[in-house]
Amino acid sequence: MSSISELYDVSWEEMRDKLRKWREENYRNSEQIVDVGEELINEHASKLGDDIWIIYEQVMIAALDCSRDDLAWSCLQELKRQFPDSHRVKRLAGMRLEALERYEDANKLYDSILQDDPTNTAARKRKISILRAQGKSSEAIRELNEYLEQFVGDQEAWHELSELYINEHDYAKAAFCLEELMMTNPHNHLYCEQYAEVKYTQGGLENLELARKYFAQALKLNNRNMRALFGLYMSASHIAASPKVSAKVKKDNVKYAAWATSQISRAYQMAGRGKKENKCSVKAVEEMLESMQITMS
């Protein structure tokens, strides 16, 4: 089997830089990280300098994701040797136990970290992840709520909590978490759009109007967010079709829906240009928009 550097004609520096990019942007492309990282470690360790330790950590986590316990183990050994008393390395050992589904042993490890350092957020979050992996959603939710009372600025935790609530169909609480996230990240179109989806799901005229507003906001922040565009179209259509709205509200929403329709058509026309393979999806959208127009008028 040829090496990554041969297959893709890249230098070891480029491989190292790619790993850094994936690390900084928090990508979870574990198979790629394992491929690139393993080769880097095996062939070019001496050139990496102090970078090698963070690369060991990154590759180890990716290896756990791909069930490569052999690779994870060897990375862990290197890290243990270099940083014998580190909590950070202990947490990695815990993650390996989690991957092996040895949850009790993992919990013991995390508890020992917390005994030493009660403010260690990483260990606390791992314990919550274990609850999630075991399907103990209500406990995970409870623990995460307690965690957030102390660490109210932890974005990742708020998002995790919103996901848990969505899975449990507790849309009101999911909306609350997303409101927190929107407040601290007003330019993030994804949070706006997710919030709108939750409101739409809750249903009822008021929620639909809120949904429409937040889909529109998401589009303002990123005019290529297709979910927001479709969401705007659907919420405006539903409001316009409701018997409970005034003539003015109906007229306004028909306008919003029409605008969304034209944007969607344009986007699909551009997407369909020259690409024979997505003709089917383009045709489906066109017909859907046409048919929904008819039911609305």
Binding site for other proteins (CB under 8 A): 133, 135, 166-167, 169, 194, 196-198, 200-201, 203, 211, 226-227, 230-231, 234-235, 267-268, 271, 275, 277-278, 280-281, 283-285, 287-288, 291-292
Task: Tell me how far, at minimum, the Cβ of 231 lies from other proteins, in Å.
Answer: 5
The Cα angle at residue 151 between residues 181 and 97, in degrees rounded to 5 = 100
C-alpha distances (whole Å) from 256 to each of 53, 239, 290 are: 53, 10, 16
Task: Tell me how far, at minimum, the Cβ of 80 lies from other proteins, in Å.
Answer: 27
Name which of 153 and 274 has its Cβ closer to other proteins: 274
Which residue, 22, 14, 61, is CA-closest to 39? 14
Task: Tell me how far, at minimum, the Cβ of 169 lies from other proteins, in Å.
Answer: 6
- What is the number of other CB atoms lying within 10 angstroms of the CB of residue 227? 16
What is the Cα 210 distance to its own chain's centre? Answer: 23
Name which of 33 and 196 has its Cβ closer to other proteins: 196
Task: Tell me how far, at minimum, the Cβ of 255 lies from other proteins, in Å.
Answer: 20
Query: Which 3-state string (H, E, C) describes 240-264?
Result: HHCCCCCHHHHHHHHHHHHHHHHHH
Name which of 138 and 167 has its Cβ closer to other proteins: 167
Name which of 191 and 200 has its Cβ closer to other proteins: 200
Q: Which two tokens stand for residue 61?
A: 């986590």
Specify whether the CB–CB gap between 30 and 67 falls below 8 A: no
Task: Tell me how far, at minimum, the Cβ of 239 lies from other proteins, in Å.
Answer: 13
Give the list of residues 6+ apart from residue 32 with CB closer than 8 angstroms, or none.
22
Name which of 87 and 272 has its Cβ closer to other proteins: 272
> What is the maximal distance between C-alpha atoms in the chain?
73
Name which of 21 and 169 has its Cβ closer to other proteins: 169
Task: Tell me how far, at minimum, the Cβ of 276 lies from other proteins, in Å.
Answer: 9
Task: Tell me how far, at minimum, the Cβ of 197 lies from other proteins, in Å.
Answer: 5
Task: Tell me how far, at minimum, the Cβ of 116 lies from other proteins, in Å.
Answer: 30
Q: Give the C-alpha separation, 151 to 67, whole Å.
A: 32
User: Please, how many CA atoms are within 13 Å of residue 233, restricted to the half-sphere of its CB?
Assistant: 20
Q: Give the C-alpha separation, 180 to 173, whole Å.
A: 11
DSSP per-residue letters across 100-133: TT-HHHHHHHHHHHHHH-TT-HHHHHHHHHHHHH
- Taking phi over 0 as left and psi of -120 to 50 as alpha, with beta for the rest, 230 belongs to alpha
Name which of 60 and 64 has its Cβ closer to other proteins: 64
Name which of 112 and 202 has its Cβ closer to other proteins: 202
